[in-house]
Amino acid sequence: MPVSASAIYFLNLRGDVLINRLYRDDVGGNMVDAFRTHIMQTKELGVCPVRQIGGCSFFYMKISNVYIVIVVSANANVACAFKFVVEAVALFKSYFGGAFDEDAIRNNFVLIYELLDEIMDFGYPQNLSPEILKLYITQEGVRSPFSSKAADKAVPNATLQVTGAVGWRREGLVYKKNEVFLDIVESVNLLMSSKGSVLRCDVTGKVLMKCFLSGMPDLKLGLNDKIGLEKESQLKSRPTKSGKTIELDDVTFHQCVNLTRFNAEKTVSFVPPDGEFELMKYRITEGVNLPFKVLPTIKELGRTRMEVNVKVKSVFSAKMFALGVVVKIPVPKQTAKTNFTVTSGKAKYNASIDCLVWKIRKFPGQTESTLSAEVELISTMTEKKSATKPPIQMEFQVPMFTASGLRVRFLKVWEKSGYNTVEWVRYITKAGSYEIRTITSTLTMALRIPCNCSIPLQTKNLQSFPVNTSFKQRRKTITSELQTQQQVGVNGSSVSVGVPTHKVTVHDRQRGTVHQFLVPEDQYILHTAEDQNITLPFACRHGSLLNIIIIVQAWMQDEVRIAVYTQFKLLWLPACTCIVPIREN
């Protein structure tokens, strides 16, 4: 639905009405008092530009030191209302010499009232083009003394412009050299999972033109889109030439494009505006050619070290190259030190965004570059949380390459004088939201001694072992015996055949209970106990592994006895693992 504005107000910062215009009689003249009371005199000014008070809606925008308020009493198009305000301000600036403020409004009351009657009729927006309005509203505004903008020249042939035949171009243009510049600019959006599968991929593009043509030329643009080629082959009664065709989605055109001819012939025909403008916008979701492939590998070496390896490979032709390639690799906030090794470009750590920033000025096609980094982290006592890690982001610009495969087949210019033109075509592909998710692998390090190895140790009896103060806080004693290959455990649990097992005895001194169960050599003691529904002491899960002392009592060919004294946690290690005393700082 259009705006259907009931009134428009121009207020200063104090809330005084500078000028207003009522278009409908469904609102009273005191509506501005409600705006001052409920919006300007509260803290909600500037929070939301749309407010509803009673049965009316207020759309307001601040331009310089002036508030422009549109009041509507029915459902209206908010975007259209703000578009009207922006275009109206541009119109006023063209009359006032580039300035729009409280002084400019006070000096041009009569001109503003005349313009408000022309640009809106009964609350519906009309023509807001400065070039057209200046043809029949020739009054000049009072220009600001601080404005350096030159006055616009009057445009001839007002009748043709007002009727709407070609409202975006004036006649009588003459250029010594007639040129047309056409740019196809595309942005690639990619979201790739950590496993390498594409989750989202599309291309948003636009066709930009800059015309310096004399007279009133008629241009015709041909692209390699599928619908256009099929329509052309039907009209000419001949098969389509072999080549890649693409399907354009969500196409929008400039107002100069002849839509009737486009619907009939599927060709883009138009009379271009003078200078630079955006001819069309489009989107493509299928058949996207990704310019880069990113292969990340991130490993965590304990709690204080990380190893990052990123390989970037260019997929486009070897004759092309990318400019301004930037790869941002997120790292933890507690990063303390980084060391880089890159095959090309430069890399550094940016603490403000918590990323490793890798910059390559020029990246040739069909090549690959590698970054290797060692990251040292600050040790923390808090447990690591499994939060979603930010993805790797990439920025680049590839000239003369289109990810969609869009190409210009022809660009023809007709003009009654028959002059010669020079056409320039350029392709540019940039990175939009180019993101690659990563997965971090944790590398656990442990000292393992096989159970069948031979280590000369002096056999001692546990009772004769000297007891000192360091062993007074012992909670439990674990004994492990090498067992033969079995299928049924002590408590009825199943054990895989072919894997050596150990019989583990856990003495819970607090509860006065004893647990015996079999642990395969490739399993963890705590995991195996939980699988067999054995309740172990709470100290097995409490705290962190800070101080573990293990004493080898006896080592014989067929039996291993280990006494473990720990203050905090039962070992999260396989039963065949032998641990030496450690202390983590």
Residue 368 in 3-state DSSP?
A: strand
pLDDT of residue 381: 63
Longest pairwise C-alpha distance within the chain? 117
CA 392 remoteness from chain centre = 10
List domains and CATH numbers for the chain.
7-143 (3.30.450.60), 179-288+404-435 (2.60.40.1170), 292-378+388-395 (2.60.40.1170), 500-575 (no CATH)
pLDDT of residue 229: 60
Residue 217 pLDDT level (bands cut at 50, 70, 90): very high
Give whole-number Cα distances, 555 to 448, 453, 459, 551, 559, in Å: 16, 10, 7, 11, 6
Average pLDDT of 78-90?
Answer: 88
Residue 237 pLDDT level (bands cut at 50, 70, 90): very low
| One-character DSSP codes across 538-557 | GGGTSS---EEEEEEEEE-S
Has residue 495 got a pLDDT over 80? Answer: no
* DSSP H or E stretch at residue 275: strand 275-284
Angle formed at CA 211 by CA 208 and CA 216, multiple of 5 degrees: 125
Residue 2 pLDDT level (bands cut at 50, 70, 90): low
Task: Identify whether the C-beta of residue 331 lies closer than 8 Å to the C-beta of residue 349.
Answer: yes
**Of 293-302, 452-461, 487-496, which one has max mean pLDDT?**
293-302
Task: Identify whether the C-beta of residue 546 lies closer than 8 Å to the C-beta of residue 583.
Answer: yes
Q: How far apart are CA 504 and CA 506, in angstroms?
A: 7
pLDDT of residue 439: 81
Task: Identify whether the C-beta of residue 96 lies closer than 8 Å to the C-beta of residue 146.
Answer: no
pLDDT of residue 541: 54
Q: How far apart are CA 311 and CA 313, in angstroms?
A: 7
Report the candidate in 44, 85, 80 with the shortest Cα–Cα distance to residue 61: 85
**Higher-scoring residue by pLDDT: 519, 329:** 329
Average pLDDT of 255-262?
Answer: 88
- Beta pairing, strands 124-125 & 408-414: unpaired
Task: Identify whether the C-beta of residue 208 lies closer than 8 Å to the C-beta of residue 183.
Answer: yes
pLDDT of residue 470: 40
**Of 107-111, 288-292, 469-473, which one has max mean pLDDT?**
288-292
Q: How far apart are CA 321 and CA 307, in angstroms?
A: 29
pLDDT of residue 518: 84
- Beta pairing, strands 66-72 & 120-121: unpaired
Residue 348 pLDDT level (bands cut at 50, 70, 90): very high
Has residue 174 got a pLDDT over 70? Answer: yes
Alpha helices of 21-166 — where are they, by DSSP H? 31-35, 78-96, 102-107, 109-119, 130-136, 158-162
pLDDT of residue 559: 37
- What is the phi/psi pair of residue 328, to 5°? -110, 115
Average pLDDT of 543-568?
Answer: 35
Task: Identify whether the C-beta of residue 478 lies closer than 8 Å to the C-beta of residue 505.
Answer: yes
Has residue 574 got a pLDDT over 80? Answer: no
Specify the range with the lowest mean pLDDT, choosing from 18-32, 206-220, 308-322.
18-32
* DSSP H or E stretch at residue 20: strand 17-22
- Residue 358 burial (C-beta neighbours within 10 Å; 0-12, 13-18, 19+): buried
- Beta pairing, strands 440-443 & 292-301: parallel
Cβ count within 10 A of residue 281: 15
Round the average pLDDT of the chain to a whole number and report it: 76
Q: How far apart are CA 478 and CA 554, in angstroms?
A: 13
Has residue 408 got a pLDDT over 70? Answer: yes
Provide the CB-side half-sphere exposure for 495 (13 A, CA).
Answer: 25
Tokens of 121: 């009729």
Cβ neighbours for 223, distance < 8 A, ≥ 6 positions apart: 248, 268, 406, 407, 408, 409
The DSSP bridge partners found for residue 183 are 208, 426
Q: How far apart are CA 80 and CA 66, in angstroms?
A: 20
**Higher-scoring residue by pLDDT: 372, 287:** 372
Cβ count within 10 A of residue 264: 11
Residue 287 in 3-state DSSP?
A: coil
Has residue 364 got a pLDDT over 80? Answer: yes
Has residue 549 got a pLDDT over 50? Answer: no
**Higher-scoring residue by pLDDT: 272, 262:** 272
Task: Specify the pTM.
Answer: 0.55
The DSSP bridge partners found for residue 308 are 298, 373
Angle formed at CA 465 by CA 462 and CA 466, multiple of 5 degrees: 150
Strand order from edge to edge, sheet including 292-301: 335-342, 368-377, 305-314, 292-301, 440-443
